[in-house]
Amino acid sequence: MELAFEILNAKGFTVDGAENGTDAFNKIKKQIYDFILMEPRLPDVDGFSIAKAIKSNDIYKNIPLIALTAYAMKGDKERILNAGFDDYIPKPIDVSDLMMRVEKYRNQGCKNASAKKY
């Protein structure tokens, strides 16, 4: 995730990080993001639970949720997408792939949600 942050910062994006799933979800409740990059394996609450909470909430459900993960075995991508993630980026990160996906989603977030900050 640190590498992704460095890449996105170098490309002019403003990035925000979280220490764990609880911290991530609390930040999402206070700020509407253009997209979310998240590792499904988090130290406290797994990312699958966070994805489900995000996608079941009318305010956040349209924020693109991208898994950035070392889960790269056969079937992992399908499991991640079926859990509610909108896309999947395997590690190690391919910079051009990361940027292609970020560009794809950066202007899609929150189209049906209120634009105010929470």
The CATH number given to whatever domain includes residue 84 is 3.40.50.2300
Q: Is residue 114 part of a domain?
A: no
pLDDT confidence of 7, banded at 50, 70, 90? Answer: very high
Does a structural domain hold residue 35? yes
The domain total for the chain is 1
Q: Look up the domain containing 40 and give its range.
A: 2-11+20-105
Residue 68 lies in a domain: yes
pLDDT given at position 112: 37
Mean pLDDT confidence for 108-118 = 39
Question: Is residue 111 included in any domain, yes or no?
Answer: no
Among 86, 97, 83, which Cα is nearest to 42's?
A: 83
Assess if residue 46 is contained within a domain.
Answer: yes
Contact yes or no for 62/111 (Cβ under 8 A)? yes
In 3-state terms the chain splits into helix, strand, coil percentages (rounded to 5) of 40, 10, 50
- pLDDT over 90 (residue 111): no
Is 75 inside any structural domain?
yes
Residue 110: per-residue pLDDT:
46
Does the residue 113 lie in any domain?
A: no
Token couple for 33 = 């993001």
Whether residue 117 lies inside any domain: the answer is: no
Span 64-77, average pLDDT: 88
Q: Please say if the pLDDT value at position 29 is more than 80.
A: yes
Q: How far apart are CA 2 and CA 74, in angstroms?
A: 26
pLDDT at 70: 86
Query: Binning pLDDT at 50, 70 and 90, where does residue 116 land?
Result: very low
